[in-house]
Each structure stands twice: as structure tokens, then as C-alpha cells.
Structure 1
Amino acid sequence: MPTLPDDDEWLARERRAIGDRIRVRRVRDGRTQESVFLAADIARSAYQAVEAGTADARITTLLKIAHVLGVHVSDLLRD
């Protein structure tokens, strides 16, 4: 079984990458952060933290964001 790296930097990188994919899709669609978090029915601060990659996101939050952006949640999790 593979082991996790000793430091949490890889987690921070992955969170930022997910946030970047959300931001790119949102901007490509011409949407504001507000339009996405309101449509997804999530708190502004939660959405902003996910998009900034500064917080762990619940799967429910990612599913809601993906739905609003019209993508499958897996598109937010991988390149």
C-alpha cells in the first residue's frame, strides 16, 4: 500500500489545484463567485475558501459547485 508524504504540502497543492479548476471554469463561463455560491446554496466564506484552496471541502460542497458549473465532480478533482 502506498504511503502518504510526511508533510502536508501535497495536500495544500491539491486543494489549490481543485480551487484553480473551479475558478477557471467559473471565469470561462462568465460567472461571478456570488452567482455560483448562491446557486449552490453554500456560504460565501465556504465557497471562497474552496476556490482559494485554503480549506478542505466537503464532498457535498464539491458536488453542488460541480452541478452549478455544469461539470462532473471528477472534473474538479483531476486535470
Structure 2
Amino acid sequence: MPTLPDDDDWLLDEQHAIGDRIRVIRIRQNRTQESVFLAARVARSTYQEIEAGTVDARVGTLRKIACVLGVHVTDLLHG
């Protein structure tokens, strides 16, 4: 069975990658952060932290964001 790395750098890298994917999709759709967090019913600060990659987002929150952006949640996770 695979094991997790000893440090948390991999988690931080993944958080940033997810945030980058969200930002790229949002910008391609010519949407503002506000239009996405309002439609997803996510707090402004939470959305901004997710997109900045500074928080480990809950799956439910990522599903809401993915739905608003018209993509599958796996597109945010695996790009």
C-alpha cells in the first residue's frame, strides 16, 4: 500500500495546483471570483483561499465550485 510522504510539501503543492486549475478555468470563462463564489454559495474568503492554494478545501466545496464552472470535480483535482 502506498504511504504518504514524511513532509507536508506535497499537500501544499496539491492545494496550489487545485487553486491554479480553478483560476485558469474561471479566467477562460471570463468570470470574476465574485460570480463564482456567489453562485457556489461559498464565503468570499474561503473561495479566495482555495484559489490561492492556502487552504485544504473540502470535497463538498470543490464540488460546488466545479458545478458552477461546468466541470467535473476531477477536473479540479487532476487537471
Q: How many residues align?
A: 79
Match of 1:21 in 2: 21
DSSP-derived class of the 1:5 partner: coil
Rounded to whole Å, the distance in 1 between the matches of 2:10 and 2:59 is 19
Q: Is 1:37 aligned to 2:18, yes or no?
A: no
- TM-score norm. by structure 2 comes to 0.98
Q: Which runs of 5+ in 1 are unaligned?
A: none
Identical aligned pairs, as a percentage? 72
DSSP-derived class of the 1:67 partner: helix
DSSP-derived class of the 2:39 partner: helix
User: Would you identify which runs of 4 or more consecutive aligned residues in structure 1 move more than 2 Å?
Assistant: none
Report the AA paired with residue 21 of structure 1: R
Match of 1:59 in 2: 59
Rounded to whole Å, the distance in 2 between the matches of 1:14 and 1:56 is 9
- TM-score norm. by structure 1 comes to 0.98
DSSP-derived class of the 2:31 partner: coil
